[in-house]
Each structure stands twice: as C-alpha cells, then as structure tokens.
Amino acid sequence: MQKSKNCQSFFISATNTNIGKTYVTLQLMEFFAKKGYKVGAFKPIETGVDKIPPDGEKLLKKAKELNKNFNDIDITDIVPIMLKLPASPFVAKNNLTIDFNKIDKSFKKLKKRCNILFIEGAGGLMVPVDKKFFMVDFISYFDAKALLVTPGKLGCINDTLLSLKLLDERNLPYNWCINLKRDEKDNFLKTTLPYYKFAFKNPIILPWDLETLCADMINYILH
C-alpha cells in the first residue's frame, strides 16, 4: 500500500474533558499500526499531573509497543508541558508563560520517528492555553487534521454542534466521532441518535465504526 512520505498529524480533541480522547487515540494507534504505518503519540500539555502524566504515560507505552523508533523516547518528549493543577493550562500555569519552544522541540523530534503522529489535546477546543491561544489553535499550529470526539450522554447534541460550528468557521479539516460508553448506549439510542441520523445521515459511532473512521483518515493521508 502506498504511504505518505511525510509525517501526517492528527489532532484529537473533544467537546470537554473525560470524553475519551486517550481511549480513542490508543484505538487509532493500534489500527494504523496493523495497516503498516509507523505511529506516534504526543500530548503537548497535560494538567492535573502529580509526578507522572497518566494520559501521556499510556500514549508513550502504546507508542513504544507499536513503533520501535520510540524506544529512546521518554515521557518528557511525549508531554513537554506538565502542570499540577487539574484545570485549563491558562489557569494551571499559575501566571507563568507556556514554553512553546519545548512543545516545538518535542514535536519535531517525534515527527522524525513516525509517519502518523496522533496529537492529543487537553479538554475541549476552546480550552484556553495562553492569553490569545486556545486548544483549537493547535490544529493549524501543527498543520494537522482534527478529530473531534463527542460523548453519547444526554445534552451532547448542543456541545457537539457548537464544536463542529467552530471547526467549520475556522475552515479546519476534521472528522468527528461519537465515543459511546456502555452506560450511555440505551439512552443515546432513544434521545440522541434520531437527531444525528437526521442531521448527519451516518454518524460515526465507536467502537462499531472504527474501520470507517480510519478509512477516511487514510484517504486524507494519501490524497
């Protein structure tokens, strides 16, 4: 199969925190690795860190498992900015300045070791990072295609539509998917799926439609 010569970045975001960005990223890494791609992972900023960043640690472990080029990578490469307070980076940095040079250095280092780099954001698209920089700005910053992960719980339609509107208004390339958790399934089928089918015809629902999502992402890489 033809492969992209350069590293393609995908920025994984969500409508909020604790939606399943890390879970979805790990599934994508495994799928693409089975297709013969050298995959990597990156989380520029993680907050709520007490010594070891939990999301970053999972991403690093999976990257090393799937790509031998990541054997010499450590946690500070995967998560260059670690902040203790579980809040937005703007608040958690405690009046300090986010060091974008550290982020750039890690990004360049990781890109050399893979041809697909999955970049996981923190929280939702409009989470503030610095005075004039929001999480959504990382999509253009890394020249990435976005993947918006949304929940299946009651109330998710509003959050999903607002996030999609933002991506459309900024003319950013993206996919979106619903990370359907077990305890959300019955309620989702009754209260949310009817509208999604009306508005989007065939919304991508994980875990059922993982292959469909990845096929579209592969098409983007190759074209």
- 97 burial class (0-12, 13-18, 19+ CB within 10 angstroms)? exposed
The per-residue pLDDT for 6 is 84
Q: Confidence band (pLDDT; 50, 70, 90) for 5?
A: low
Residue 188 CA, chain-centre distance (Å), reads 23
- The pLDDT assigned to 4 comes to 41
Residue 46 has pLDDT above 80, yes or no: yes
Per-residue pLDDT reduced to its tens digit, 149-198: 999 999 999 999 999 999 999 999 999 999 999 889 999 999 999 999 99
For the question of residue 43 being annotated catalytic, the response is yes
pTM for the whole thing?
A: 0.95
pLDDT at 182: 87
Contact by Cβ (8 Å): 66, 33: yes
Q: What is the pLDDT of residues 118-145, one digit of tens each?
A: 999 999 999 999 999 999 999 999 999 9
Tell the burial category of 116 from Cβ atoms under 10 Å away from its Cβ (0-12, 13-18, 19+): buried
Q: Annotated catalytic residue: which of 21, 34, 35, 43? A: 43
Tokens of 51: 């010594």
Dump pLDDT digits (tens) for 58-84. Answer: 999 999 999 999 999 999 999 999 999
Rounded to the nearest integer, the mean pLDDT of the chain is 95
User: What domains sit in the chain, N to C, each tagged with a CATH number?
Assistant: 8-222 (3.40.50.300)
Ranges of beta strands (E only) in 15-144 are 39-42, 45-47, 81-83, 116-124, 128-130, 133-134
Which pLDDT does position 2 carry in this prediction?
35
What mean pLDDT comes out for the span 195-208? 96
Q: For the purposes of burial, counting CB atoms within 10 Å of the CB of 108, is it exposed (0-12), middle (13-18) or buried (19 or more)?
A: exposed
Q: Residue 124: its pLDDT value, please?
A: 97
